[in-house]
A and B are shown apart, each in its own frame.
Chain A
Amino acid sequence: MSGYRVVHCGPLMLRLHKRRAMLCLFLALVLLMAAVLALGAGGTTGWSAPWAGGQGKVLWDLRLPRLLLALVCGAMLGLAGATLQSLTRNGLADPGLLGVREGASLAILVLLFFLPTAAPELRPLVGLVGGVSVVAVTVLLARGGIERMRFILIGIGVSWFLSGLIALMLVAADVTMMQTAMVWLAGSLSGAAWSSVRMAALCLLIGGVLLFGTARAGDVADLGDHLGRSLGVSMTRLAVVRVAAAVLLTAGCVSFCGRLGFVGLIAPHLARLSVGGGQGALLSASALWGAVLVMVADTVGRVAFAPIQIPAGIVLAVIGVPVLLGLLWCRRDRF
């Protein structure tokens, strides 16, 4: 079995590709080291080893939850992006395309503007409801199930309509309120707290289980509809499960840290370039790359001009351009 090794673990059987597994492990190690570095990086205090102690509260209440949230949200976006790119067979698909992002944003903005006293724990819930209902509308409009392009393009149309509504809200708002909303819309992790880390991790867990659980079937589906069906994979059911997982991941991420762009677009490409392989490897590597990107962007935005904070979404946009250009050029024949 060319490079694959089968690992038995009780009733479970895992088929690992040795080289790719090693690559993923290496990536994870790099991520871990980077995370330790980021954990020690303070904006106004400079770098100090996180294990040295002496800054317990800052480290434990501020930096650690923020770092973990960055990792979790990055992984969520990486997974969602990889899934959407394989579902649409298009390397330019981004989790924002389904209208989930605008739906969740609109719902949370309504909450922020009209019920600012509402508990912050409510936000993810509201965001999820907004995101899911937009996808439901998109599915209704697209009828006839998830016929790839039609579905995505209708999602784009729906999200434009919602952006119109968001714009309408912002026009009427106070300038200060508008700036707050813009920071949030640009994508920022400053609201991180242990409670949000826990909820985000739960979202990641559910989405991850759904996606990794269907990864093998996804490999088959990638061979094409006919071949997949003849190999006994129910294409519609598979697509529904994977889209649902991507929606959950994206809406969850928007509710915790706003609209972080480009991660879902770039991470899967970096994954294919560095690790390659089938769905299982692609998903793992995309999650890792997503986590790296968001963590780096957030740390740079937090530290570079401290105490002035640059929202992670804006740093991502600045990093994103050259990376995107380079990647698309390298992989120009593959999307």
Chain B
Amino acid sequence: MAGPAWARSFTDDLGRTVEVPDRPLRIVSLSDTDITIPLLELGVMPVASHGRVGVNGAGAPYLRSGALLTGVDFDTAPIRFIGATEVDLEAVANERPDLIIAEKGRLAALETLQDLAPTVVLDAAGLGASHVYSRLADLTGQQVRLQTLETRYQAALQALKDTVHPERYTVSVIQPLNGKISVYHTYRALGRVLRDAGFRFPPLIDAIPVGGRMEIGAERLPEIDADVIFDPYRADRGEGPRADIADMEALVPNFCAFLQACRQGRYVMVSREEAISNSYSALFLMVSMVQAQMAERPRVTLK
């Protein structure tokens, strides 16, 4: 489909060299959080995207965090839903794409996809969101837009640094998980803001390989204590932070008393839907959230 007059070579994250159109017009995205949301932020509307269907929801497909962070979802924009865990290849073909973008973790039938349209694979989990953004900007010719987003993020980050002095504080992001505690080297957008700003982490978390995750026993709770602790609670059930706090309490009764952060009221519940995204909107949200949480506060002073 791609005529040689307007095609160029692109080397994707699997090291494959693919002939891609100079200005792709009909992009199909195979991963909502890792590809579709970034594309939307770069001002590019894919014609179709992978999405999700909740088991307990009304059954309507949605882009994870789509409406929340970009205002775009299947019911508000002309994006076709092409399947959840496994993508419907015929639906992809019906969109007559001129470029298919896949994420390494959701890789399926690469050979067949390549027969339908030029297909590039990006490694979001391994190489990080900023890498994916720059590759996507390159593919779609939206470098200027990306530059704007990045400048805004850096400015926000600088403001955070000026307000808080990150190097003075330790932080950690934890999540209760069935009798264990789940910790990440970098917890998506939230983790990226914390690392980019220059906060310090407990040694246990720094020891996790970059991009990795680990489950630890609840006995190690003091080892992940910090000046501020963030707990991304599960928001898709309508139970809110209460369920997560109850899980922590079931894990260690009185857990709050054993964490310096919690005793000082700095155990912060963050919506997982916002914290888990890789988008710039999430980064902006996280920067202001961190700034608001950690900025100096007035106290009662006894005369």
Chains A and B directly touch (beta carbon < 8 Å): yes
Given A57-B116, A63-B90, residue A307 in contact with residue B82 (CB < 8 A): yes
Most A CB atoms within 10 A — which of B53, B91, B106, B112? B112
- Contact between chains at B112 and A191 (CB < 8 Å): yes
Considering the complex, give the chain B residue whose CB is closest to the CB of A42: B90
Chain B, 1-54, CB within 8 A of any chain A CB = 14-16, 53
Return A182 CB to nearest CB of chain B, in Å: 8
> Size class of A's contact patch?
20 to 34
Residues 90-131 of chain B: 1 if any A CB is under 8 Å from the residue's CB, otherwise 0?
110110000000011111111110011000000001000000
Contact of A306 (CB < 8 Å), options: B14, B88, B115 = B88
**With contact pairs A44-B88, A117-B14, A307-B82 given, residues A176 and B106 touching in the complex (Cβ less than 8 Å):** yes
Count class of interface residues, chain B = 20 to 34
Judge whether A190 is part of the interface by a CB distance below 8 angstroms. Answer: yes
* Inter-subunit contact A174/B108 (CB<8 Å): no
Question: How many angstroms between the C-alpha atoms of A42 and B92 in the bound complex?
Answer: 12
A298 to chain B, nearest CB (A): 12
Asked if A183 meets B91 with Cβ closer than 8 Å, knowing A116-B14, A177-B105, A177-B125, the reply is no
* Contact yes or no, A62 B112, CB < 8 A: yes
Chain A 147-193 interface residues, beta-carbon cutoff 8 Å to B: 174, 176-177, 179-180, 183, 188, 190-193
| Centre residue among B16, B89, B106 by max chain A CB count within 10 A | B89
B86 within 8 A of A: yes
Complex partner residue of A45 from B86, B90, B108, CB under 8 angstroms: B90
B15-A62 in contact (CB<8A): no
- Given A44-B88, A176-B105, A183-B85, A193–B53 Cβ distance below 8 Å? no
Q: CB distance A44 to B115 under 8 Å?
A: no
Once A and B bind, how many residue pairs between them come within 8 Å at the CB atom? 92
A193 — which chain B residues lie within 8 A by C-beta? 109, 111-112, 115
How far in angstroms is the closest Cβ of chain A from B105? 4
Contact call B85/A43, Cβ cutoff below 8 A: no
Given A120-B111, A190-B108, A193-B111: A57 touches B93 (CB 8 Å cut-off): yes
CB < 8 Å: which of B81, B82, B89, B115 contacts A190?
Answer: B89
Contact across chains for A307 and B83 when beta carbons are under 8 A apart: yes
If the complex has contacts A116-B14, A177-B125, are A62 and B93 also in contact, measured as CB distance less than 8 A?
yes
How far apart sit A61 and B92, CA to CA, in the bound complex (Å)? 12
Q: For the complex, give the distance between the alpha carbons of A19 and B126 in Å.
A: 61
B228 within 8 A of A: no
B87 within 8 A of A: yes
Which residues between 254 and 301 of chain A lie within 8 Å of chain B, taking CB atoms? Answer: none
Contacts of B106 in A (CB 8 A): 176, 179-180
B94 close to A308 (CB less than 8 A): no
Q: Given the complex of chains A and B, what is the CA–CA distance between A42 and B88 in angstroms?
A: 10
Partner of A180 from B94, B105, B110, B112 at Cβ < 8 Å = B105
Chain A minimum-CB-distance residue to B111 = A193
* Residues of chain A lying within 8 A (CB to CB) of residue B87: 190, 307, 309
Cβ distance B236 to chain A, nearest Cβ, rounded Å: 14
Residues of A within 8 A of B116 (CB): 57, 61
| Contacting pair B88 A43 (CB below 8 A) | yes
Nearest CB to that of B215 among chain A residues? A171
Bound: A314/B276 CA distance, A: 30
Residues of B within 8 A of A (CB): 14-16, 53, 61, 81-91, 93-94, 103-112, 115-116, 125, 213
| 14 cross-chain CB contacts under 8 A | A44-B94, A174-B213, A176-B105, A179-B85, A180-B106, A180-B107, A180-B108, A190-B109, A191-B111, A195-B111, A302-B88, A306-B90, A307-B82, A308-B53
**Nearest 6 CB-CB pairings of A with B:** A176-B105, A307-B88, A309-B86, A307-B91, A307-B83, A191-B109
